[in-house]
Amino acid sequence: MPDAPSTLDRDTALLERLLGSVLVEQEGRAFRERVFWLRDRAAALRADPEGVDAEELVDAIRRLSSSQLGPIVRACTMSLQLSNIAEELERLRRRRAHDADDQGPQRESLAAAAATTAGLSRDERARALADLDVALVMTAHPTEATRRSIFDHQQRVWALMETLDDPRLGPTRRRAFEDELRETLTVWWQTDDVRARRPRPDDEVRRTLLHVESVLYDAVPDLLLELSRTLGVAWPPDGGGAAARTAGATTAVVGPPDGTVGTRTVVTSGRAPIRFGSWAGGDMDGNPNVGPETIASSLQRHRRTALRLLGERVDRLAVLFSQADDRVFVTHELKASIEKDERELPRVTFQGASANEPFRRKLTFVAARLDRAAQGGEGGYDGVEDLIADLELLRASCSSTLVAHGRIARLLAQARTFGFLVAALDVRQSAGPLQHATAHLIDGYADADEAGRQELLVTALTGAPRFTATVDDEDAASTIDGIAAVGRAIQDHGPHAIGRLIIAMARQPSDVLCTQFLLTHTAETSDTPAVPIVPLFETVEDLAGAEGTMGDLYATQPYAEHLERCGGAQEIMLGYSDSAKDGGFIASQWGLYGAQERLVAQADEQGISVRFFHGRGGSTSRGGGPHHRAILSQPPGSVRGRIAITEQGETLSQRYPHPELAVRSLEQTVSAVVLATLTPPAEPRPEYREHLDTLTTISRETYRALVFEDERFPRLLHQAAPLAELSEMNIGSRPAKRGGTTGVDGLRAIPWVFAWMQNRILLPAWYGTGTALEHGDRDLQREMIDRWPFFRTIVSMLEMSLFKSDLGVAERYLELVDPDARELWTPIREEHDRVQRVVLEIRGTDNLLDATPALQRRLAHRNPWIDPLSHIQVALLRRSRDGDDDAHGPLLSTIGGIAAGMRNTG
């Protein structure tokens, strides 16, 4: 008897059946049959590549006109996006199954972290947890190929599929929900999948905030409650007064979150343990569309969103909190607060409220003050601290542990985590424009060497704070205005409005000092709070020189004073993207590892608290992959409870599609930070380091010989991938290149990776590693996998990239390449075969991902829909480049479709 289909297969079949009925109605039965024939043919070819004629599939595509291929591309893309929804629903089922299972905590959970660290002393755990500070920074890189309208339809399908998963549904209700699914799929089918215009920065701000308001805002309290339950972190997260208390001291509380009354060890700090930032609207690096106006407007939108979200939840609480004053003990402070509100806001009323309902009365005033803060009217809150103080007054009068730790505690957690801005805005600018602007303000600066520039900057920073030089250069003036907007943002929205000022392509101390100078020069008042200045070291060479750069900065008096104003803390950003593009995968990973080790040791000697900001992307070549594994593979002592990580592009949709899955993703990140802090990995043995040094040298030389030294390579890249076409997709507000530079050097890392993902080669993720690993000792490499998390992560990421790559499909793109550039296919193919063979030898398995069969099946089941898209893309690339105007639109759609199937862009 055949095995029953899995729930994933069942959901996939249902969605394909419903989509098929939509295709019949919209395009006809013959169209539906053609689409599924392509899918079935691709699946048969994968199952039996020797027994199935691949040319039959390719010829069928070639016989269709470009206008006929357009709807087929859309159907394949929708099928892949529906497959992704089915996979996410399966993740949700697994999450709930683990929660219902009493066999032990789910791996990578906070409960698992608590069990692992249970043997440590109470004080040791409390001290570490008091410093817990995880920052997740959402970026608006052009990697999210899905339109907002399509995203909304996907969310509706998500909700309906979750409803259909309820076993209590009868056939009548099931049919009704399936009909609603068909309607949603039909509207989705009738919606353009490619944006009509390139998104503006404001569009990116709205899209970024959408993830917060639709999922993360209500997921965070669940995470923080779990932190309290498993690890004793204060619930709700402690506010400003906590800093005066001793972290980890035994503190009398109203009661733990389970509702029992008593005393327990509570870990306190002056902030929420997780917070959010955003680059959308503040990333000026190479983006002429971002500047002072977008910085100001982005923060205004942040503020409006935050106050609206808080107001909605206060209104709901006012409906719920109907307590009568003779049933609770109303404190004198709450009574006095209500009397003050009545005097200051005499016209505020609550319809339907009784005179003896003080909680509703107070919450009515709270809502009114939030509304006035949003409108800028008199009587509004000055800041989130005033709101928190009012909510704490209510908690103190709850006369119930259960109520005090319930909805009002969740609201406090949201207020302390998201504040009045939802997320701090990061501002980024490249070192070149910053230096160029400084040269127009300081005489002699442009002609000075590095030592001379540092001397001029120290003099400027210790002397008069302002210069009166008129700047006639348009680019310099624009940069100066952008930095001035940072100071104005802090004046308008408070000291935490700007999370950090990031210097892209930082290479030398003057890059940082000139930024400090520009901040000082443009400050409207001398008491403007200090903004953290964060150098971003991006290339392999810059990472190697980071210790020298920071050492010179720490020894410079004006910068030392700046760090003191920042609480003695220095944040350093690590660039995964450009370091991988510059030196290849292993050289990038090992360079990042070594830089962290050296920078931590240096900061410890200086008494400086250093935190690393990991600029990770979605793809493995840009540091992508599971956060938990990546954090645990960092050098020992480099985390210490503090980390910042970018959440780029499509990773937001993948990690946070649903509140429960968002909590799971967040706890995987936070639990890894806890473990890396309390149980860091052992120092790697000397022979491990020697082996990585050798691997780095060989892999980097092999990689650069192809990518940067072979004059044929740029033509291979541009001809065998839709790189030029990618720049025409309206998926980001920033250009694909830095300035007007051509070739690989000028290409941004994101479209560089995106292009190789499209043609299924994924070259940056593995090229050079096969030659390097082949020279190593297999027994040593197997030992390193077992004993060194860092090397284990490298091999896992390689294995994932190799599984996602498909050189059989990729070879079709060679039809588009000049004969001499096509000769590079031989070394590429040989290197791919080499790295796959060596990885399997190290793993001791017959096939890639044999150790993770569930992941293997999940990735493989998308291929029958991706493969036809790849073959169609080749055909349309040829036609479009030959002048077929009808091919252009469907071609752009294939880019989004393949991105959806690969679940990675940049």
C-alpha to C-alpha distance for 298 and 496, rounded to whole angstroms = 14
SS3 content of the chain, % helix, strand, coil (to 5): 60, 5, 30
The confidence band for 466, taking pLDDT boundaries of 50, 70 and 90, is low
**Residue 3: which pLDDT band, with cuts at 50, 70 and 90?**
low
C-alpha–C-alpha distance, residues 238 and 735, integer Å = 43
- pLDDT of 263: 41
Residue, of 747 and 627, whose pLDDT is higher:
627
Is pLDDT of 97 > 70?
A: yes
pLDDT for 196: 61
pLDDT at 168: 93
Neighbours of 807 (CB within 10 A): 17
Residue 526 pLDDT > 80? no
- For the chain, give the mean pLDDT: 89
Do 10 and 17 touch, CB atoms closer than 8 A?
no
174 vs 725, residue with greater confidence: 174
Tell me, what's the pLDDT at 618? Answer: 58
Q: Measured between alpha carbons, how far is 277 from 205 in angstroms, rounded to an integer?
A: 12
The confidence score (pLDDT) of residue 352 equals: 65
Whats the size of the chain, residue-wise? 906
Beta-bridge partner residues of 424: 277
Confidence of residue 146 (pLDDT cuts 50, 70, 90): low
Which residues are known catalytic residues? 141, 581
Q: Using the structure block, give the residue that is written with the tokens 């308001």.
A: 213
DSSP string covering 67-90: HHHHHHHHHHHHHHHHHHHHHHHH
- Which residues neighbour 682 within 8 Å (Cβ) at sequence distance 6 or greater? 636, 787
Output the pLDDT for position 350: 72
Mean pLDDT of the region 492-509: 95
- Report the DSSP beta bridge partners of residue 533: 501
Q: What is the DSSP string of 230-299?
A: HH-B-SSPP-GGGGGSPTT-EEE-S--TTS--SEEE-B--SS-SEEEEE-TTTB-TT-TT-SHHHHHHHH
Predicted local distance difference test score (pLDDT) of residue 241: 36
Question: pLDDT tens across 580-607, in order?
Answer: 888 999 999 999 999 999 999 999 999 9
Q: Is 50 exceeded by the pLDDT of residue 251?
A: no
- What is d(CA 735, CA 287) in angstroms, rounded to the nearest whole number? 7
In 10 A of CB 741, how many CB atoms? Answer: 10
Instruction: Give 618 or 236, the one with higher predicted confidence.
Output: 236
pLDDT(740) > 50:
no
- Which has more pLDDT, 294 or 744? 294
Of 115, 95, 89, 119, nearest to 104 by C-alpha is: 115
- Of residues 299 and 126, more confidently modeled: 299
Provide the percentage of residues in the chain whose pLDDT is more than 90: 71
- C-alpha distances (whole Å) from 898 to each of 368, 396, 503, 864 are 49, 55, 33, 12
Angle made by CA atoms 700, 705, 707, in degrees to the nearest 5 = 90
pLDDT band, residue 738 (cuts 50/70/90): low
Of the candidates 16, 35, 42, the residue with the CA atom closest to the CA atom of residue 74: 35
The β-bridge partners of 276 are 136
Q: What is the pLDDT of residues 649-675, one digit of tens each?
A: 677 888 898 899 999 999 999 999 999
Contact 113, 863 (CB under 8 A): no
Residue 194 — pLDDT band, cuts 50, 70, 90? low
Q: CB of 824 within 8 A of CB of 849?
A: no
Q: Is 63 exposed, middle or buried (0-12, 13-18, 19+ CB in 10 A)?
A: exposed
For residue 49, how many other CB atoms are within 10 A of its CB?
Answer: 10
pLDDT for the residue numbered 649: 66
Strand 424-430 to 274-278 pairing: parallel
What is the per-residue pLDDT across 344-364, written as a single tens digit (0 to 9) for each? 999 888 766 678 899 999 999
Say what the pLDDT of residue 401 is.
Answer: 94
- List, in sequence order, every residue forming a beta bridge with 774; answer none if it has no partner: none
State residue 22's pLDDT score: 97
Query: For residue 337, what are its two tokens?
Result: 């607060």
Q: Which amino acid is at 73?
A: V
% of the chain residues with pLDDT over 70: 90
- pLDDT band at 259; cut points 50, 70, 90: very low
- State the pLDDT at residue 621: 52
Residue 2 phi, psi (nearest 5): -65, 150
Mean pLDDT within 194-202: 72
What's the pLDDT at 1? Answer: 42
So what's the pLDDT on residue 409? 97
